[in-house]
Structure 1
Amino acid sequence: AVVTIYNFQQYRHIQAPGWKLGWTWATKEVIWSMMGGETTEQGDCSRFKGNIPHCCNKHPTVVDLLPGTPYNQQIANCCKGGVLKSWAQDPATAASSFQLSVGQSGTTNKTVRVPVSFTLKAPGPGYTCGPAKIVKPSRFVTPDGRRETQAMMTWNVTCTYSQFLAQEAPSCCVSFSSFYNDTIVPCSKCACGCQNTSQPGSCVDYTPLVRCTSHMCPVRVHWHIKLNYKEYWRVKITITNFNYNMNYTQWNLVVQHPNFDNLTQSFSFNYKSITPYTAINDTAMLWGIKFYNDMLLEAGPLGNVQSELLFRKDKATFTFEEGWAFPKSIYFNGDNCVMPTPNVYPGLPNASSHQLTSALGLLVTLLAAMALLFGHA
């Protein structure tokens, strides 16, 4: 049998140490041999003499083989260490396969029993798998294209992800700043957790080990409105890693902003429009350039990546007022980041003067009305 895992998620990849796929055999099946993957435990094979199966465990867990595996142990789409890119980043590397030879099972599509209780860890919790559903048998075309073969049986298992199951607290936050206001809006206090005040000199009491900050988030995304031109405006994005124990490989960022339909250039990030609403192009996916900034290093002087975006102004919609120039939502590696509340967004420098002018205007109006009343008295 050949098992293939497809990552159809647009902007959530599976990073090192990679996926782990588990299931429960329906009867007393064993795995005689494998290619492209291996089980984490062999189990009790004492009932076999001579040839020993690869795995006798009723609840096997399979992992991908590492890069550099000998060719005679490989099959197509294997041996990536369990790392899968997101579908939007690179569909060609968003699949992983392994092959296994099953014994003590049925020999026809009437006697083969479908495994149950599938689990997927990638690499931790968060995925929930449904039951296996029998579908039309897969078909295979020979390399010369002249012959087609058919599998005896094929079944599909769908696994869905929940950020709430994966982690108790958010994993990233967003901060804002602009050239027209000296105010820097930091990440919300306790956005991902609060400092530990019970032990003097220490503010970290949970995993992952992150730098001591007011927000306690492993990752911060900073959006800075940098420059304003006649027909364009410019933004700088900085992603900072506060996690001391993790490098984020093949990271990605999803940003929702109404001006992405007029994005002119992304200077040092890859860009792809996601367009979840078909006709509305307001969502962009950004990720690092290979061998340049596709790895966000652990917390420290080098633990950040940054780029600038150049937008063309649409005269019908563009404005710096009321926080329009700031993103509506941001996702890092598929997880929703905690945004600042709209009431603290950096405002235009003349916003307070407008309020003062309005207040003075109201006062003058009241005084004039009182004078008019006294004049008639």
Structure 2
Amino acid sequence: MEFYNGKQQQSCTFRELKFVALIALCLILICPADSFDPLDPTGNVTIRWDIMSWTSDGYLATVTLFNFQLYRNIMNPGWSLGWTWAKKEIIWAMMGAQAKEQGNCAKFKLKIPHSCKRNPEVVDLLPGAPYNMQYTNCCKGGVLTSWGQDPTGAVSAFQLGVGLSGTSNKTVKLPNNFKLMGPGPGYSCGPAKKVPATVMFTDDRRRKTQALMSWNVTCTYSQFLAYKNPSCCVSLSAFYNEQVTPCPTCSCGCQNNDTCVTKDSKILKEDGNDTRKNMDITPKPLLQCTHHLCHVRVHWHVKDNYQDYWRVKIAIINFDFRMNYTQWTLVAQHPNLNNVTQVYSFEYIPLLPYESINDTGMFYGLKYYNDLLMEAGPKGNVQSEVLMKKDKKTFTLNQGWAFPRRVYFNGDECMLPPPDSYPFLPNSAHIKHTTISLMAAYVIFTSLFHLVVTNL
């Protein structure tokens, strides 16, 4: 009986452990924790909502978006921001942005609001918007650079007049269900939280003003939520081996008639003749048929090995016939990036996810030279070379040490080949063969020398 109870207790414990493991797995899959990026642990998009003055039935507010992500930008067609009002609020007017839909404003007779929707969706104005509609840091078409690349281009703002909302800190209710699209899915936003009222300078920076009420919303990005498959992959090569390690097969999906086209496809000719360009809509990808089926391939080539330095060539190739990458970024993690001496045709800044480790850096294009990665074709690539000083304690060409540990393009992690497929140094058999040949030559030379000396 005791033995049976022991087995029964073990069985119950095992069932409990399985149940706990199942709950943990579900939490990992559905919680925002999956958005944690070890190379940018504090990266997020923060939305700050500042009430600047009260009106007869509501308030006038400034909404500012800060892209605090070190290397993930928000490309064309840019961000869109949505929320749900807590009460029956309306938007009387906006500057620097506009709501996508006006909604049903039939009950208003004299003055028609800008938007009456309970869950409005707001987008940035395009460059060149009328002057009377502009606002500070607006009108970029929703495009935001990453904070590490250009902090001044990582901020966007607009102003809105809100009605039917209450006219004091006690009667105003915070909106709910914030949603950030930028330019596709992947962002998850937390609830709005009241924060100390923002203090800011006037335009001439001679006087400080303070908001009447402020709240923040924090949105984080998850590649897992954004894409079913990766969007980029990495191939490798080295001067000491003719072998090129390609991207893994089906890195970003597998070929079928609906996923890719060949270079001579009729679709490409029709696409090229179509002069209709709607910059507000993300074009459907039109990928070149490859074994990896990725939008972008990054090639890392170990080019030279000097006494005190070594050189790497990096090329980025676009396989999407409809996508241009403006202000692209490339992040690489490698232990010798702490000794970068020169980068020839990219900009480079080190990233420090951890204070004691400097093994990660961001590359991006030179302005007006190669900061635009063109669509697939003859001009659909950019490349540069990186010269690094050797750390003689750790530097080696053995066992794939010279290749990157992680690679990100435009903030998304790329698929790397398996380590056992990396280009390897000439095998040991060749080394042994050379050693044996030298030993044989030494023995023959010694014997001949001894014979000559003896005959003398």
- Which residue number in structure 1 is paired with residue 325 of structure 2? 248
C-alpha distance after superposition, 1:155-188 (max 9, x if no partner): 1001111101101000000000011100000000
Give the CA deviation at 1:314: 1.7
Q: Contact between 1:36 and 1:64, CA under 8 Å: does it hold in 2?
A: yes
- Which residue number in structure 1 is paired with residue 184 of structure 2? 124
- Give the direction of change, closer, same or farther, for the CA distance of 1:61–1:314 in structure 2 (3 Å limit): same
Q: Contact between 1:273 and 1:284, CA under 8 Å: does it hold in 2?
A: yes
Give the CA deviation at 1:351: 3.8
Structure 1 residue 13 corresponds to structure 2 residue 90: no
Give the CA deviation at 1:141: 3.1
Which residue identity lines up with residue 173 of structure 2 in the other structure?
A: R
Which residue identity lines up with residue 210 of structure 2 in the other structure?
A: Q
**Within 5 Å, which residues of 2 pair with 1:134-149?**
134-143=194-203, 147-149=207-209
Q: Contact between 2:261 and 2:286, CA under 8 Å: does it hold in 1?
A: no
**Counterpart secondary structure, 2:364:** strand
Structure 1 residue 190 corresponds to structure 2 residue 250: yes
Which residue identity lines up with residue 212 of structure 1 in the other structure?
A: C
**Within 5 Å, which residues of 2 pair with 1:29-178?**
29-143=89-203, 147-178=207-238
Moved more, 311-320 or 211-220: 311-320
- Give the direction of change, closer, same or farther, for the CA distance of 1:227–1:131 in structure 2 (3 Å limit): same
Which residue identity lines up with residue 2 of structure 1 in the other structure?
A: T
> Which of the residues 422, 425, 442 maps onto 1:348?
425
**Counterpart secondary structure, 2:229:** coil
Give the CA deviation at 1:349: 1.3
The Cα RMSD (Å) is 2.1
Decide which structure has greater helix share: 2
Structure 1 residue 27 corresponds to structure 2 residue 27: no
Give the CA deviation at 1:356: 8.2
Measured in 2, the distance between the counterparts of 1:160 and 1:12 equals 11
Structure 1 residue 300 corresponds to structure 2 residue 360: no
Measured in 2, the distance between the counterparts of 1:166 and 1:315 equals 41
Which residue identity lines up with residue 197 of structure 2 in the other structure?
A: P
Give the CA deviation at 1:208: 2.5
- Give the direction of change, closer, same or farther, for the CA distance of 1:101–1:277 in structure 2 (3 Å limit): same
Which residue identity lines up with residue 316 of structure 1 in the other structure?
A: K
Q: Percent identity?
A: 61
Q: Contact between 2:260 and 2:286, CA under 8 Å: does it hold in 1?
A: no
**Counterpart secondary structure, 1:62:** strand
Moved more, 143-152 or 272-281: 143-152
- Which residue number in structure 1 is paired with residue 15 of structure 2? none
- Give the direction of change, closer, same or farther, for the CA distance of 1:80–1:264 in structure 2 (3 Å limit): same
Structure 1 residue 327 corresponds to structure 2 residue 404: yes
Q: Contact between 1:196 and 1:202, CA under 8 Å: does it hold in 2?
A: no
Normalised TM-score (structure 2): 0.75
Q: Contact between 1:64 and 1:80, CA under 8 Å: does it hold in 2?
A: yes
- Give the direction of change, closer, same or farther, for the CA distance of 1:355–1:2 in structure 2 (3 Å limit): farther
**Counterpart secondary structure, 2:143:** coil
Unpaired runs of at least 5, structure 2: 1-60, 266-283, 436-456
- Which residue number in structure 2 is paired with residue 372 of structure 1? none
How many residues align structurally? 356
Which residue identity lines up with residue 120 of structure 1 in the other structure?
A: L
- Give the direction of change, closer, same or farther, for the CA distance of 1:146–1:231 in structure 2 (3 Å limit): closer
Unpaired runs of at least 5, structure 1: 359-377
Normalised TM-score (structure 1): 0.90
Give the CA deviation at 1:144: 5.7
**Counterpart secondary structure, 2:426:** coil
**Within 5 Å, which residues of 2 pair with 1:216-295?**
216-295=293-372
Q: Contact between 2:260 and 2:289, CA under 8 Å: does it hold in 1?
A: no
Which residue identity lines up with residue 183 of structure 1 in the other structure?
A: Q
Measured in 2, the distance between the counterparts of 1:21 and 1:74 equals 18
Measured in 2, the distance between the counterparts of 1:66 and 1:344 equals 47
- Give the direction of change, closer, same or farther, for the CA distance of 1:287–1:230 in structure 2 (3 Å limit): same
**Counterpart secondary structure, 1:299:** coil
Measured in 1, the distance between the counterparts of 2:261 and 2:124 equals 42
**Counterpart secondary structure, 1:85:** coil
